[in-house]
Each structure stands twice: as structure tokens, then as C-alpha cells.
Amino acid sequence: MIYTASPLAIFIFILFVALVLGVSFFFARKTKSAAGYYAAGGTIHWGVNGIAFAGDYLSAASFLGICGMIATVGYDGFLYSIGYLAGWVVALFVVAEPMKKLGKFTFTDALDHNMGSRAIQLTAAISTLVVSTFYLIPQMVGAGALVTPLLGLPHWAGVIMVGTIVVIIVATAGMTSTTYVQFLKGGLLIIFSTVLTVIVLMNGFKTKPQENYHNFKMIHVTQTADNQLILDKGAYKYSDETFEGNEYKIISKQDYHGMVFYKVEKDGIQNWWLLNERGGVKFLDETLSVVKKEDGAVLYNGETKEKEKFYPVGHFEKIVMDGKEVESTGSLTPFKFLATVQSSTVITYKIVKLQDGKDSVTLYYLKPVSGENIMAPGVKFKLGEKSKPIDKLNFISLMLALFLGTASLPHILIRYYTVPSPRDARKSTIIAILAIGFFYILTLFMGLGAMGSGVLDVQSDNMAAPLLAKFYGIGIFSIISAIAFATVLGTVAGLIVAAAGAVAHDFIHKFLKIQSTDEKKVFHGKMAAIVVGAIAIILGILFQGMNVSFLVGWAFSVAASANLPAIVMKLFWKKTTGTGIAISIVVGMVSALAIILLSPSMYLQYGKDPLTAPFGIDNPAIISIPLAFLALIIVSLKTQKKAKA
Amino acid sequence: MGHGPAVDWGKDNASPKKEKLGIILFIVYLLVYIGFIFIGVIKSELMKTQVAFGLNLAVFYGFGLIFFAVILGVIYNKICTKYEDTMNKEEIEK
């Protein structure tokens, strides 16, 4: 889509980033020791820590990704909200209390407690690095997606900007400053998401979401015996005007899995239309198209980008409220809002990639989906009678990864140690659950609001929530986008601290046994932060356009596979040995990574046909977690003697 | 040699009881969570059944899982604090 920046947006954005940097530098001056750098010296108030927990957790994925996914596939996006929150149950009830007893800085410290195994030190440090990097990718992609409409900059510019600012924050500060940054943005994100949700409810839905919303065209057609089309009268969705179908000329047609797309020309401009049948009558419906020509030129709906012919989407086919079809709902209560979506028909968009001679064509065609289906699982994750066993496995695997992933994220657990007492630690987790739970409920309203407000960019669903805000005014849009950007900054900072801890503390200090002064340790951490930041920038650019929540799902899978079996068995099974833990981390991490790299979604990313991917599932957890458990049990049993000796 | 815990939280006599409570609450939540996945996999049509206020089971169950986690968290915190108060009397700050 085409975005132009507004001066107000730029002003608010700069103000926010300056505020974040200011907070960061202020607390940085207080951080001198290694304990202060990695765990804030245990001085943070539990209330602040609780909201900071929420700030850590409500990353770009939650705000941008979940809202975006709900806006495009409905309830299936909300599954992420449910799973992410459920993950807190594992973290709080199972891992937090026993982990706290060990009272260590990092995962590696906790796993290596009373073991002194170099294999654990190495593998756990690597797993922290890999998981942090995986979790960094969606944050960076989110940053890139944000700056485009906010500042009118390209994706890569946003990624580099976040990377640089965060490295500055982390390299100068540490855990104390990231905690306050997280507190600030966590709190603001929840407040302004509530404001946006209230605005959405007050405005309700309209069949024509905006005054200048695209007036979709359709052409009645007659199919001749030899399958030729005759274009009859044309009509518009939002007006009674008609036009002559013969103004358009069919150039070519392409079949795609039972659908037929026609390339049509009018006034020298070529567009793609889809043949549909409604009530026994055949129509050509216009689609959105992005055509990459052989010479590298890109056409949006047949014209250059500057012509701005590539319109946003997101509307209702029909709105049914209290059993009656209406044009506009007026303001709605939360339950009425959800019930109205459920009884209405929503227009979603589907993506098709075609090859037209030497041109690569990406088509976005509109598809009506009943509200009944939108408000239940099954639009993205195929469920129900027609689904294949592999589809069901994919769904179970995702829910498993989300459930078990939270407790396995290195940057979440590290925050547990930043308060003065166990009671405070627990209280801050409760504050976090409350804040996060409330926010996740809001995601459903923001996502569905975006779905019916005609604001969606078909090329990237990550921007649904900020674009929804833009629909209600540039002020709230700028604030929300700036908070989301600060969200990315905060999360990335937290992750980089965790990754830097893995390298400097676990690898250099413990594994390589290089003894160094406190100052030197902090220096190593900062150097590591810069390297990890650079890697994250590169990956953030490569993964442009993928839904960030989907990417976080992968990070959760890798985290749950590599770390969870090790930590759970270490805490609850006395026979666990150091070698068992190390092998379990390797098996979990490698199997999860292998399945992801060979998954249909990655094949699409490589530019290959996803149907040819060796693994039919996108989410590895269901295979990699049991594998890691199994590896730990077998190896631990085999190495019992050595452990006792 | 590591450089010890980041924060010294002292000895906690209530720890084993808190751990046990945590596991019990986890299992309770897990069963409800599995129920959700089970319906999704075995009989996803059931998710579309109207329950109340014009809303279906999917919305109710989903919201329910979120509220349930929060409620269990609050209960856990209350009971843990009680354990700590009775079992760590001498260690509580006066």
C-alpha cells in the first residue's frame, strides 16, 4: 500500500523514542555491577515489575500479529491470545517456584545448579541464543511494518532503526533500564488499546465502512458452450449505477485449483478478475493484483504505485443485528459486538500466486465467510470433518507450543529475579497475568474491528491494529504506533540482555572459564548485545511480510522444545543427569529447527511450492518436545553410574 | 564458580507445599485447556453452538480460559502467602 507520513505522527514518534531513551539513560547511570546489569540488582517494586512483565510479554507479536491475524482469519488469531496467556499458568505454577529456589541469573545457571556440567553450560547458552534470536525476528519484522505507514519509510529502515536504538539502550544500560522501559510501554499499550477498543465499540459497524471506501465492481457474464465469456452489464457494490461490460476486453484466463481468473483490459490497463457464481448467475469479480514484470517494474492493480489504485479492504457482505439486516449498527456493547459479527457475513481475502508468461502475479481475491465460521476455530487451522489428520496435528502442536513456550523463554524468567522477595515475585506475576489477560481480550475487539473497518493492507496483516487507529484519527494512530514501536524496542532490549547474558556470563565466564572483573563481564555482555543486534537486523529484513504472531509461534516451539523438558526434568526428576540435560536441549532445539526449516511456510518463504515441503506441519512442538523428553530420560538412565561416581 | 544468586531471598520453609499446590492447579488448568483442544479436534462444530448472549461456545471457552488463568493465579497467590505466613513466621519482617 502507499503510505505518506504526517508531521504529527513523526513528532509523537520522536517524542516517544526520546522518552524511552531518556528513561534508559537515566537508569543506566545507576547500573554498575554485573548483578545490576543482568538482574537489576533485585531492587524493582513488584507492581512495576508486574507491568514490566506484561510489557515484556505483550510484544509486537501480541499487538500487531494477533490483531492482524484476527482481522484476517477471525477466531484462529485469538487462539494465540488464549495460548499465550495459558502459558503463564505453566510459568507461574510449575516453573517459577522451584526455579526461584535455585535463585540464578539465567536458564543455564538454573539448569547447571549442583551439576557443574560443561556440556550444560554450552548447550544451554546456545539454546538461549537461538531462542532469543528466533523471538527477535518477529519483533524486527514488526518494527519494519510499523515505520512504513508511520514515517513513510521502507521496511528495512525500520528494522535498522530498532536494531540501532536497542543496541544503544542495551549497550549503555541493562536490566534496570529495560524494566522501566517495559513498565512504561506495557502500561501505555494497555491503556491505549482500551481507548481504541472503546472507540471501536462506540462506532460499531457499517456495510460501507468508510466514505471513500472502494466501490467494488462486478460484471454479469454469460458462458457460451465453448466456455467463452460474454461480458454483460456491470454493477457496483455501493451504488445503483451500472456500466457496460463490453468496455472490458478479456485478454487471457488461468485456472487455479478449481478457480478461474481472467486478465481483463480497459483503457490500456490490465486487471485480474475472478469468475464466481451467486444464485445461479455468473459474475466476474474484481481482485487486487500485484504484478512483477520481467523488467522488474511492479504494477498495483495494473498501474504504478504512485497512482494509488491499490485500495485497503475489510468489510461486511451483510450485517445482521438482532436477526435483522442493517446498514449500520450504531454503538455496541461488547457482547452485542461479538454477537453481531457472529450473525453477519464477513469478506475475507485470499492470496493466489500465478505465473503469467514471464510476469509473477499475486492476486488477492475477496471471499465471503459466515460470521459463524469467523467466530470459531477453523478458518486458518483446518478443523472439522473435512480436515486431514495432519491439519489437526498442526493445531494441537501450536496449542502445545504456546502453552509450554512461555515458561521456556529466557527473557521472561530473567525478570523473575528482579524483585526483592519471592512474595514480590509472585505478586508481580499475578499483576502480569491480570494485565495480559485483559489485553488479550481486547485483541479480539481490535482485530474484529479492523476486519470490518476497511483498513486492511492485503500485503501485510501486521498493521491491522495501528491502521484501525488511523481510521479514527491521526492522533491516536501516532500514539498507538509509537507505543507499538516502543514495545518492539523494549522487547528487543530484554531479549538482547538475555542473549548477551548467555554469551558473556554462561559462555565466556562459565564455559571458557575466563575469569574477569565485574566491569569486564559487563563489557562482554555489551559486545555480545551488539553482535546479536546485528544478526537480528539481518533476519528482520529477510522475513518481511510474514505474520509476526506466526513467527513468535515458532520461537515458542523452539523454546519449549529446547528448554522445557530440561527444566521440568531437572526440577522434578532426581535421576536427571548433566549429560541428559545437554542432549535433551540439543535434540529439542535441532528437531524443532529442522521441522521449521522444512515446513510448508518456510517453503513458501524460499519461493517454493509449499505442497512439496517434506514435513506437512508448520508447528514442530508435538514432535520435538516428546523427542527431547525421551532423549533426556534415555541418556540420563544410561549415565546414572557416572553421575553417582 | 558462578557469582551466586542475583537476589538472596533467604530460606523458605513453605516451598515444598507451594510447589505441590502449583502442580495441582497446573493439572486443573491443563485439563480445562485440553478440553478446549479436544473439542477443536474431535468435534469442532460444537464450538459454533450458541451458549448465551448470542455468543458461541468458542468465545465463551476462550474467554473462560483467560479468566480461569487469572482466577487460579489469584487463588495460588493467596494460598502461597498463607503458607509463607504460617511456616516462615520467624523470617517475616517485623
- Chain segment A211-250, per-residue pLDDT in tens: 888 888 899 888 887 778 888 888 888 888 888 888 888 8
Residue A337 forms beta bridges with which residues?
none
A375 vs B6, B41, B56: nearest CB: B56
More confident residue, A216 or B94: A216
Long-range contacts of A594-597 (CB under 8 A, 24+ apart): A594/A620, A595/A620, A595/A623, A595/A624, A596/A554, A596/A557, A596/A558, A596/A620
Q: Is B49 inside any structural domain? A: yes
Which chain A residue has its CA at the smallest distance from B29's CA?
A: A89
Residues of chain B contacting A85 with CB distance shorter than 8 Å: 65-66, 69
* Cβ neighbours of A377 in B, within 8 Å: 40, 44, 47, 58
Contact predicate A146/A488, CB 8 Å: yes
3-state class of A568 per DSSP?
Answer: helix
**Alpha-carbon distance A397 to nearest alpha carbon in chain B (angstroms):** 10
What was the pLDDT predicted at B10?
A: 62
Q: Which residue has the higher pLDDT, A96 or A388?
A: A388
Residues of A in contact with B35 (CB under 8 A): none
Is A90 close to B76, i.e. CB distance below 8 A? Answer: no
Q: Closest residue of A to B74, CA-based?
A: A430
First-to-last CA distance in chain A?
66
Picking from B33, B50, B66 by the largest number of A CB atoms within 10 A of its own CB, the best residue to mutate is B66
Angle between the N-to-C axes of helices A518-542 and A474-501, in degrees from 0 to 180, rounded to the nearest 10: 130
Confidence of residue B7 (pLDDT cuts 50, 70, 90): very low
Write down the pLDDT at residue A461: 79
Question: How confident is the model over A309-337, as a mean pLDDT?
Answer: 92
Give A163-194 pLDDT, tens digit per residue.
888 777 766 655 566 677 778 888 988 999 99
Q: Which residue of chain A has the CA closest to B2?
A: A510
Distances (CA, A) of A91 to A66, A98, A382, A407, A426: 21, 11, 29, 4, 11
A573: contact with B, CB 8 A cutoff: no
Q: What is chain B's Cα-based Rg?
A: 20
- Using CB atoms, pick whichever of B44, B45, B73 lies closest to residue A430: B73
Chain Cα centroid distance, residue A179: 22
Residues of chain A with C-beta less than 8 angstroms from the C-beta of B44: 376-378, 383-384
d(CA A589, CA A628): 8
Nearest to A376 among B3, B53, B56 (CB): B56
Task: Write the Ramachandran bin of A403: left for phi over 0, alpha for psi from -120 to 50, otherwise beta.
Answer: alpha
Contact A35 B3 (CB under 8 A): yes
For the cut 70, the answer to whether the pLDDT of residue A439 exceeds it is yes
- Indicate the helix (H) or strand (E) that contains A320: strand A316-321
Q: What is the Cα–Cα distance from A201 to A223, expressed in whole angstroms?
A: 45
Minimal CA separation from B68 to chain A, in Å: 9
Q: Looking at the domain assignment, is residue B83 inside a domain?
A: yes
So what's the pLDDT on residue A611?
Answer: 77
A135-166 CB burial, b ≥16 within 10 A, e <16: bbbbbbbbbbbbbbbbbebebebbbbbbbebb
- CA dist list (Å): A281 to A74, A223, A233, A261, A273: 29, 10, 12, 17, 16
Q: Choose the most confident range, by mean pLDDT, from A59-63, A516-520, A526-530.
A: A526-530
In a domain, B6, yes or no: no
All residues at 6 or more sequence positions from A523 whose CB lies less than 8 Å from its CB, including other chains:
none
CA proximity to A457, closest of A341, A210, A288: A288
Residues from chain B contacting residue A31 (CB–CB below 8 Å): none
Looking at per-residue confidence, does A424 or B94 come out higher? Answer: A424
According to the model, what pLDDT value does residue A561 have? Answer: 93
Of B9, B66, B76, which is closest to A85 when you measure between CB atoms?
B66
Place of cell 499465550: A84
Average confidence (pLDDT) over A26-41: 56
B residues 34-73 lying closer than 8 A (beta carbon) to A: 36-37, 40-41, 44-45, 47-48, 53-59, 62-63, 65-67, 69-70, 72-73
Q: How far apart are the C-alpha atoms of A153 and A536, rounded to whole Å?
A: 19
Model confidence at A264: pLDDT above 70: yes
Please report the residues numbered 55 through 84 in chain A whose beta carbons come closer than 8 angstroms to any beta carbon of chain B. 75, 78-79, 81-82
| Whole-number pLDDT of residue A120 | 85
Selected for mutation to probe chain B from A53, A82, A175, A438 (highest B CB count within 10 Å) is: A82
Q: What average pLDDT score do residues A402-419 get?
A: 75
Q: Identify the weakest region by mean pLDDT among A291-300, A397-406, A425-434, B37-46.
A: A425-434
Residue type, B92: I
DSSP state, residue B81: H
Q: What residues does A272 pair with on adjacent strands? A: A263
Please report where in the chains the cell 460501507 appears, as a residue.
A208
Residue located via cell numbers 538412565: A637
* pLDDT at A376 (0 to 100): 92
Q: How far is CA A117 from CA A114, A482, A582, A644, B6, in A?
A: 9, 45, 9, 14, 21
Chain A: closest CA distance from residue B42 (Å):
8
By C-alpha distance, the chain B residue nearest A38 is: B6
- Nearest chain A CA: its distance from B90 CA (Å): 15
Chain mean pLDDT for chain A: 84
Q: Where are the alpha helices (DSSP H) in A452-517?
A: 464-471, 474-501
Q: What is the per-residue pLDDT for B6? A: 42
| Residue A309 near chain B (CB below 8 Å) | no
The number of residues in chain A equals: 645
Q: Look at residue A27 and tell me whether its pLDDT is greater than 80.
A: no
Question: What's the pLDDT at A419?
Answer: 65
Residue where the block lists cell 523428553: A629
Q: 3-class SS at A459? A: coil
Spatial separation of the C-alpha atoms in residues A91 and B69, rounded to whole Å: 12
pLDDT at A415: 66
Asked if residue B54 belongs to a domain, the reply is yes
Of A85, A342, A427, the CB nearest to B77: A427
Q: What is the per-residue pLDDT across B52-70, written as a single tens digit (0 to 9) for each? A: 888 899 999 999 999 999 9
B92 found inside a domain: no
Q: What's the gap in Å between the CA of A38 and the closest CA on chain B?
A: 8
- Please report the pLDDT score of residue B31 as a whole number: 96
The DSSP 8-state label assigned to residue A574 in this structure reads T
Chain B residue with minimum CA distance to A518: B3
Single-letter residue type at A64 = L
Contacts of A12 (CB under 8 A, 6+ apart): A475, A478, A479, A482
CA dihedral angle for residue A59, residue A61, residue A64, residue A69, rounded to 10 degrees: -150
List, for residues A538-573, the tens digit of each pLDDT value.
888 888 777 787 788 888 899 999 988 998 898 888
How does DSSP classify residue A508? I
From A373-387, A620-634, B6-20, the region with the lowest mean pLDDT: B6-20
Q: What is the pLDDT at residue B92?
A: 47
Q: Which residues of B touch A433 (CB under 8 A)?
A: 69-70, 73
CA A543-A546-A552 angle, to 5 degrees, is: 90
Q: What is the distance between the alpha carbons of residues A275 and A218, in angstroms, rounded to a whole number?
A: 10
A415 vs A316, residue with greater confidence = A316
In angstroms, how far is the first alpha carbon of chain B from the final one? 35
Q: d(Cα A161, Cα A163) in Å, to the nearest integer?
A: 5
Asked whether the predicted pLDDT for residue A641 surpasses 70, the reply is no
Residue of A nearest to B47 (CA): A376
pLDDT band per the 50, 70, 90 thresholds, residue A3: low
Does B51 reside within a domain?
yes
The whole-angstrom distance between residue A563's C-alpha and the CA centroid of its chain comes to 21
Total of domains in chain B = 1
Instruction: Tell which residue, A43, A39, A49, has the closest CA to residue A427.
Output: A49
Q: How confident is the model at residue A114 (pLDDT cuts 50, 70, 90)?
A: confident
Percentage of residues in chain A having pLDDT higher than 70: 90
Question: Which residues span the domain enclosing B63?
Answer: 16-87
Question: pLDDT tens digits for A461-516?
Answer: 788 888 899 888 888 888 888 888 887 877 787 778 777 777 777 777 777 777 77
**pLDDT score, position B3:** 35
Is residue A262 predicted with pLDDT exceeding 50? yes
Residue A303 has pLDDT above 70, yes or no: yes
Confidence of residue B4 (pLDDT cuts 50, 70, 90): very low
- Whether B8 maps to a domain, the answer reads no
What local confidence, expressed as pLDDT, does residue A175 receive? Answer: 54
List the one residue out of A402, A59, A19, A58 whose CA is nearest residue A177: A19
Indicate the burial class of A171 (C-beta count within 10 angstroms; 0-12, 13-18, 19 or more): buried
* The predicted structure's pLDDT at residue B1: 28
Burial class (CB in 10 A: 0-12, 13-18, 19+), A184: buried
